[in-house]
Amino acid sequence: MSEAAYTKQDVLNKAKELGRLISKTEEVDFFKKAETKINQNLKVQELIGKIKNKQKQAVNLQHYQKHEALKQVEKEIEELNQEIDEIPLVQEFKQSQTEVNHLLQLVSTTISNTVTDEIIESTGGDKLQGTTNKSPFIDIN
């Protein structure tokens, strides 16, 4: 077994560097532009405000066990959410969120798979089997 070549801090520093790199990708740039447009759009901001107010009402109604009124407010929230989701700008924003999340998931999966492969290789294991070293319990003829 070889000595560790890197410290946890070395890895964290590389992770920060990778984070800065990701923040300068096309996906993140598109997300930032879409978020700016969302924040500047009066109709979207008005609908977000209405939704927040209705959510506060819902919390109060639930607290006071006003079940029928709560059902009505929840229905209004759902209608407002549908209305906001139909706005092309909001659809664009949600798509940009999905693309950034996909990129982050891809990076995470790639790191995980690479670490696993490195462990298997360094212990004389079998990548195809996904095992580290040969098990004494498996009879191989």
Please report the pLDDT score of residue 43 as a whole number. 97
Per-residue model confidence as pLDDT tens digits over 80-121: 999 999 999 999 999 999 999 999 999 999 999 999 989 888
Does residue 73 sit in the same domain as residue 102?
no
Does residue 96 sit in the same domain as residue 72?
no
Domain that holds residue 68: 42-86
Examine residue 22 and state whether it is found in any structural domain, yes or no.
yes
Examine residue 34 and state whether it is found in any structural domain, yes or no.
no
Does residue 80 sit in the same domain as residue 105?
no
Examine residue 36 and state whether it is found in any structural domain, yes or no.
no
- What's the total number of domains in the chain? 2
Does residue 47 sit in the same domain as residue 15?
no
Sign of CA dihedral 68, 74, 80, 85: negative
Length of the chain: 141
Residue 76 to residue 57: CA distance in whole angstroms: 11
Examine residue 141 and state whether it is found in any structural domain, yes or no.
no
Does residue 47 sit in the same domain as residue 82?
yes
Q: Which residues pair with 131 in a beta bridge?
A: 126
Is 22 in contact with 111 (CB distance < 8 Å)?
Answer: no
Residue 58 to residue 53: CA distance in whole angstroms: 9
**CATH at residue 55:** 1.20.1500.10
Please report the pLDDT score of residue 87 as a whole number. 98
Examine residue 139 and state whether it is found in any structural domain, yes or no.
no
Residue 132: band (very low, low, confident or very high) from pLDDT cuts 50, 70, 90:
confident
Examine residue 68 and state whether it is found in any structural domain, yes or no.
yes
Other beta carbons within 10 angstroms of residue 80's beta carbon come to 19
Does residue 104 sit in the same domain as residue 71?
no
Is 48 in contact with 84 (CB distance < 8 Å)?
Answer: yes
Written as six digits, the tokens of 70 are 């709560």
Examine residue 37 and state whether it is found in any structural domain, yes or no.
no
Examine residue 137 and state whether it is found in any structural domain, yes or no.
no
